[in-house]
Amino acid sequence: MPVSVPTTPYLDPAVSRYPPSNRVLRLTVLGAGAWGSALAGLARLNGHTVQVWSRRGDLELAEAIAESDVILSAISMKGVASVVQQLHQLGIPSESILVTATKGLDPQTTQTPSQLLSQTFPTHAVAVLSGPNLSQEIEHGLPAATVLASTDRSAALRVQRLLASDQFRVYTSADPLGAELGGALKNVVAIAVGVCDGLSLGTNAKSALITRALPEVIRIGMRLGAAEVETFYGLSGLGDMLATCSSRLSRNYRVGYGLAQGKSLPQILAELGSTAEGVNTAHVLMEIADREGMAAPISREVERLLQGQITPKQAVEALMERDLKPEAGDS
C-alpha cells in the first residue's frame, strides 16, 4: 500500500513558540478520574509541577489554568464541549499547549475533542494523546507506550518530554486527527469483541472480528480527514484496538460482555461506575455514517444492539450472513 502524504505536515520547530527547554513545566490536568490521575502521576514522576482540576473539586478552573504551560484534558466526552467553552470565556495563556486525552465524538457537533479545541483556540497548539493505555496498568507502574500527535512538532516534543519515562514511552506523530479517530472508533469494536467473548464464540471468531474491524475503522477515519493510513496500524490504531479488545480492564469490552450475558445496558453502566465512551461513539458514528453514506457494518450492528433493536446473537448472525465478497473491498 503506498504511503499517503500528510495533509498537515509538521510545522518547522525553528519558528515555533516552543523551543527545546529542560525547565520544569507547569501542567494542568482537567479531570480527576483514573486516566487523568495516571497522567498527572507520570508528569510528577518527571519532576514537573502538576495541578488537577475537577468539576467536583475546590480548585477554580481560572486558578488551575492561570500559568499553565500545558493544559491536558482527560474528562469524559460528554463534558468536553462545556469545558472548552469555559476555557474560552476565561481565556488561557497565549503560550499554553492544549492536549486532549479523551477518546470519543461530541454528540452535538459530531466533532472530536481536538476539532472542538482547534476551532475554539485557532492560535494555540493542539495535541492528541492516544494509545493502548489502560490506566490501571499505568498506575501500577507497568510499561506502556502511546502517541502524542500534533501538527506543531515542537509542541509535540515539549509534551513528549513532559510525560515520557522508562515506564511510559511516548512517540510523536503529525496526524492528530488520525490518532484521535483510531482511539475513538476502536471503542465500538471493543463492545463487539466483548459480545463475541460473552457468547463464547471462540478465538477464531474473535480474530476474524478484529481483523475485519480494522479496515472499517481505517475507511471511516480516512473519510473523516485522517492524514495517513499508517496511523491506524500504529499504537493509536491497531495497538489501542488490541489492548481494548483483549483486556477485561476495558470498560467498552465489559459493556459487550455484559450484554451477551443478558444484562441490560443501564445495569452494565451502573456496575461500571464510570464512562464507557464506545456507547456514545456508536450513536454519533451512525449519525455520521448515514450523513456521509459510509459503510460501517460492524459498528452498525453494535449500535442496533445498544439501542435494544437486536439481541447479541442476532448481531452476530447479521454479520455472518452478509453477502460473500473479496476480502479487500469497501465494506
Per-domain residue ranges of the chain: 17-174, 178-320
CATH class of the domain defined by 17-174: alpha beta
Span 55-69, average pLDDT = 94
- DSSP code at position 237: I
Residue 266: what residue type?
Answer: P
Backbone angles phi, psi at 42, to 5 degrees: -65, -45
| 9-41: pLDDT as tens digits | 444 544 467 877 788 999 999 999 999 999 999
Using CB atoms within 10 A of its CB, is residue 264 exposed (0-12), middle (13-18) or buried (19+)?
A: exposed
186 annotated active-site: yes
Q: Are 17-174 and 178-320 equal in CATH topology?
A: no
Residue with cell 492560535: 123
Averaged over 116-126, what is the pLDDT?
A: 97
Over residues 234-249, the pLDDT tens digits come to 999 999 999 999 899 9
Q: What is the DSSP string of 264-291?
A: -HHHHHHHH-S--HHHHHHHHHHHHHHH
Residues 32, 275: Cα–Cα separation, whole Å: 13
Instruction: Tell me what the pLDDT averaged over the chain comes to.
Output: 92
For residue 206, say whether it is annotated as part of any ligand binding site.
Answer: no
Annotated binding residue at 31? yes
Catalytic residue among 186, 206, 313, 325: 186
SS (H, E, C) 105-174: CCCCCCCCHHHHHHHHCCCCCEEEEECCCCHHHHHCCCCEEEEEEECEHHHHHHHHHHHCCCCEEEEEEC
pTM, two decimals, is: 0.91
Runs of H (alpha helix) within the chain: 34-45, 61-65, 77-90, 113-120, 135-139, 153-163, 176-198, 203-223, 240-246, 251-260, 265-272, 277-292, 297-306, 312-320
- Is 66 flagged in the annotation as binding? no
Place of cell 451502573: 270
CATH of 178-320, one of 3.40.50.620, 3.90.1150.10, 1.10.1040.10, 3.30.365.10: 1.10.1040.10
Give pLDDT tens digits for 206-237.
999 999 999 999 999 999 999 999 999 999 99
186 is in an annotated binding site: yes
Residue 300 annotated in ligand binding: no
